[in-house]
Amino acid sequence: MVIEKQKLTKRAYKVFIEGELINLCIPNEEAIELDGWADWFNDLKNQKNTRHGIFPNTSQNQKRILKEIQSQIDKVDNQEILALLICEKKNNQAFGICSLQSINFSNKSAEIAINIGNPGLSSMPGMASLESMALLAEHGFRVMGLERIYAGQAYPNLLRWNKLMEIIGFKTEGITRNTFKKGHDVSDTVLIACNYEDYLILRDIRGSLWGDLSLIKRALKAQPKLSIAEKINEAMLEIEKEHFKFIFNK
């Protein structure tokens, strides 16, 4: 009964960025003790397309990672990571984490990442994840002064997520072959990025990268059936086949 009561207690996470469907909050030990932050990375099915889930994660290890994240706060211009909990609105429970990593203020760039540990806490997990990325990228551009935010995604395993990211301005820049490996499973990697110029265009249209849920749903309805990644992949294969006839065709 005590455990059940804890689950319903509103968490003491401080909201850093307020959203429409979710809030992005400052991590603390409650995420480990009450919301299972360490165990998110032990869900092997959920971690299939990530670098996690190779060795078991522990609360002690997650506390060490939390300390590393917290130690970044004092570095200001030398900070390399900004990590925020993704929390549902009602009880402020954390169900995922998103981050800007490899922050480079000289190049004005950073890598964006997300991990949803307990999607069942959100009534719209896909949209909640997308809003998390939009809010974090918006902060990167507007507050941190970044000009390029990028990521790599397993392809075609994360095709649906890749296509969803188009809605908030992320474009496929290329595909690298056989570069995502998990055990004996090998797949390609799609390289995506959102640039400051595209952010400004979407901001003028929506007011921000996210705007609101109605605008996102409208964009989803208008989105082409095939993602740009699929179109680029098909074109690349055709161009390669035609171009390399001179050495691969007998």
- Going along the chain from its start, the domains and CATH numbers come out as 2-234 (3.40.630.30)
| pLDDT over 60 (residue 199) | yes
Task: Grade residue 5 by pLDDT with cuts at 50, 70 and 90.
Answer: very low
Amino acid at 173: E
Tell me the average pLDDT of the chain.
Answer: 92
The pLDDT confidence band at residue 51, using thresholds 50, 70 and 90, is confident
CB 41 within 8 A of CB 32: no
Q: Is the pLDDT of residue 191 over 50?
A: yes
pLDDT band at 3 (very low <50, low <70, confident <90, very high): very low
Please state, for a pLDDT cut of 70, what percent of the chain lies above it: 94
In one-letter notation, the amino acid at residue 63 is K
The predicted-structure confidence for 115-152, as pLDDT tens digits, reads as follows 999 988 888 999 999 999 999 999 999 999 999 999 99
- pLDDT one-digit tens code per residue, 221-233: 999 999 999 999 9
Q: Reply yes or no on whether the pLDDT at 209 is more than 80.
A: yes
- Residue 104: partners with Cβ closer than 8 Å, 6 or more residues away: 110
| Per-residue confidence (pLDDT) for residue 206, from 0 to 100 | 96
Residue-level pLDDT at 9: 75
| 83 has pLDDT over 80 | yes
pLDDT value at position 86? 97
Give how far Cα 46 sits from Cα of 7, 83, 245, Å.
22, 20, 41
The structure's pTM equals: 0.92
Query: What is the pLDDT, as a whole number, of residue 112?
Result: 98
Q: How far are the Cα atoms of 99, 168, 202, 247 from residue 81, in angstroms, in the given order? A: 7, 21, 25, 46
CA–CA gap between residue 111 and residue 128 (Å, rounded): 19
